[in-house]
């Protein structure tokens, strides 16, 4: 395709492609309740989405007894398995990905999910074939460390100046900035537009249709 600015578009998963913010927040709150810990409000719980689950709990409960973190991780995963049964891709996300593939873009995922969790979600939603590479938090450093993007750059042989990161949190956009990768934010996920604006993305989409339109016209 002529005049492409980018060869590789990397998507965050939760809150960017999959409408899972509410399920994640519910699961975090339920795990805290199960251990009789102070329950984070929904805004605070949503703010840590995008981090690895261990890093998320450390951000919510800094200085907590080290022995409790593995219990919180296990409880979160238990509740998320229940809460995630009804979540789906955002409407239009699959068609957007398929159109980008048809136009010759390489696509990848960089996520705070586990490998097992991402594989399950991709298989259930039927979009595994859209992606040329993926990175999860149990294979790399948690966002906002740049390693996921740098590893995808190396794996797919695409220089960082030909990559674009799309995500719904400041963690995604800061990871992109740390890697020297351009970014686009989406405000329909976990973080509000004012939080995303701090990281100077090229664009902030308010919906999947507006994201699709911008990518096809500008990426």
Catalytically active residues are 12, 14
Q: Are 176 and 191 in contact (CB under 8 A)?
A: no
What number of CA atoms fall less than 13 Å from residue 149's CA on the CB side?
A: 31
Sorted by sequence, the CB contacts under 8 Å of residue 49 that are 6+ apart come out as 14, 15, 21, 24, 25, 56, 112, 168, 169, 189, 190, 191
What number of CA atoms fall less than 13 Å from residue 197's CA on the CB side?
A: 4
Q: Are 151 and 134 in contact (CB under 8 A)?
A: no
Pairing of β 8-11 and β 163-167: parallel
Phi, psi of 125 (to 5 degrees): -95, -5
End-to-end Cα separation, the chain, in angstroms: 11
Sorted by sequence, the CB contacts under 8 Å of residue 70 that are 6+ apart come out as none
The strand pairing partners of 193, in sequence order, are none
């Amino acid at each position: 395709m002529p005049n492409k600015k980018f060869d590789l578009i990397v998507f965050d998963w939760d809150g960017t492609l999959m409408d899972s913010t509410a399920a994640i927040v519910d699961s975090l709150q339920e795990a805290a309740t199960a251990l009789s810990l102070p329950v984070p409000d929904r805004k605070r719980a949503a703010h840590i989405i995008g981090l690895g689950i261990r890093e998320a709990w450390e951000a919510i409960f800094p200085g907590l007894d080290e022995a409790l973190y593995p219990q919180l991780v296990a409880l979160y995963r238990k509740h998320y398995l229940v809460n995630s049964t009804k979540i789906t891709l955002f409407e239009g996300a699959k068609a957007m990905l398929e159109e980008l593939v048809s136009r010759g873009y390489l696509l990848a995922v960089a996520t705070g999910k586990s490998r097992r969790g991402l594989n399950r979600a991709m298989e259930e939603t039927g979009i595994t074939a859209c992606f040329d590479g993926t990175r999860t938090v149990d294979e790399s450093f948690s966002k906002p460390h740049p390693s996921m993007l740098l590893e995808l750059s190396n794996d797919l042989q695409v220089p960082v100046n030909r990559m674009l990161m799309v995500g719904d949190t400041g963690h995604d956009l800061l990871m992109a900035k740390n890697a020297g990768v351009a970014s686009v934010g989406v405000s329909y996920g976990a973080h509000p537009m004012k939080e995303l604006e701090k990281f100077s993305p090229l664009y902030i989409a308010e919906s999947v249709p507006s994201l699709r339109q911008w990518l096809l016209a500008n990426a």
